[in-house]
Copies of this chain bind each other. A is one copy, B any other.
């Protein structure tokens, strides 16, 4: 058997948002230094911040200041995460017109995050899509806790199908399935992906993975084999603090780039640049990052 791998995979760097959101706030100037290194490493898609309540996520309270600087990197497609129409308005007003609207597929997680049920959050897609489209951008609907919820356990696939079908009807340009707590596995991932693909034919579906249980890169391989061409990842596996109970990072960008690249799949990103970016991130957050490859590169450079 030989693996049928694609020529190219799009990696969206999410360390600036998902990676930093649970950390203590770092200076905006340091974030911009990190962003510059990420772009320098070849990133062409960056989820750069989220426009959410600064009380809920103090680490991203400087979203407007970060957004104001994005003109420095003209070749990059920037996007921001929003959790409601107010966030979408703020993002567009700040000049970030490509939006990720995240909807938790379990009511328990959705209410804990936004105070709304999944159905209530789903109702807002149309307004958010309209706002993005009017500004010349697009909107991706990310379905959170798509496999498991920390409060409600396994998420019934029907709940995801309701959200994605409504999203497509309401004008979403792209979908993304998020393994928010890092519990999915190759077979479960492909099963849901196939169901969503059947329910929403023709729309691009990305995958957002965390490496909480060590299956992140195996899941990424399964996704790519199944035709997924957009994966989220963060430099160094940022977001995962090995010393913080409950915290866990995205799959590490450099690990993904390593095995994809060595398998002949183009990502546009380079390892030395990612090592530099992860080092900036590591110094900024003040603790070791979980990426095995980052540690291996550190050993090689000492």
Q: Which residues of A contact B (CB under 8 A)?
A: 1-3, 5, 182-188, 190-191, 194, 211-222, 225-227, 240, 242, 245-246, 248, 252, 254-255, 258-260, 262-264, 288, 290-293, 295-296, 299, 302
B185:A263 contact, CB within 8 angstroms: yes
17 contacts between A and B (CB under 8 A): A1-B225, A1-B226, A1-B227, A2-B191, A182-B296, A184-B262, A185-B263, A186-B263, A211-B292, A214-B217, A214-B254, A214-B258, A216-B217, A245-B299, A246-B299, A248-B292, A248-B296
For A211, what are the chain B residues with a Cβ–Cβ distance below 8 Å?
292
Of B2, B185, B226, B258, the contact of A215 (CB 8 Å cutoff) = B258
B214:A293 contact, CB within 8 angstroms: yes
Task: Determine the distance from Cα of A290 to Cα of B292 in the docked complex, in whole angstroms.
Answer: 8
For A5, what are the chain B residues with a Cβ–Cβ distance below 8 Å?
186-187
A278 to chain B: closest CB distance in Å?
12
A259:B213 contact, CB within 8 angstroms: yes
B258:A213 contact, CB within 8 angstroms: yes
Known: A221-B222, A225-B1. A264 touches B214 (CB 8 A): no
B186:A221 contact, CB within 8 angstroms: yes
For A296, what are the chain B residues with a Cβ–Cβ distance below 8 Å?
182, 212-213, 248
Task: Determine the distance from Cα of A221 to Cα of B225 in the docked complex, in whole angstroms.
Answer: 11
Chain B residue at smallest Cβ distance from A237: B214
Task: Determine the distance from Cα of A214 to Cα of B222 in the docked complex, in whole angstroms.
Answer: 15
Q: Of A254, A255, A296, which is in contact with the most chain B CB atoms at under 10 Å from its CB?
A: A296
A205 to chain B: closest CB distance in Å?
13
A263:B214 contact, CB within 8 angstroms: no
Task: Determine the distance from Cα of A283 to Cα of B19 in the docked complex, in whole angstroms.
Answer: 30
Chain B residue at smallest Cβ distance from A225: B1
Task: Determine the distance from Cα of A182 to Cα of B297 in the docked complex, in whole angstroms.
Answer: 13
A210 to chain B: closest CB distance in Å?
10
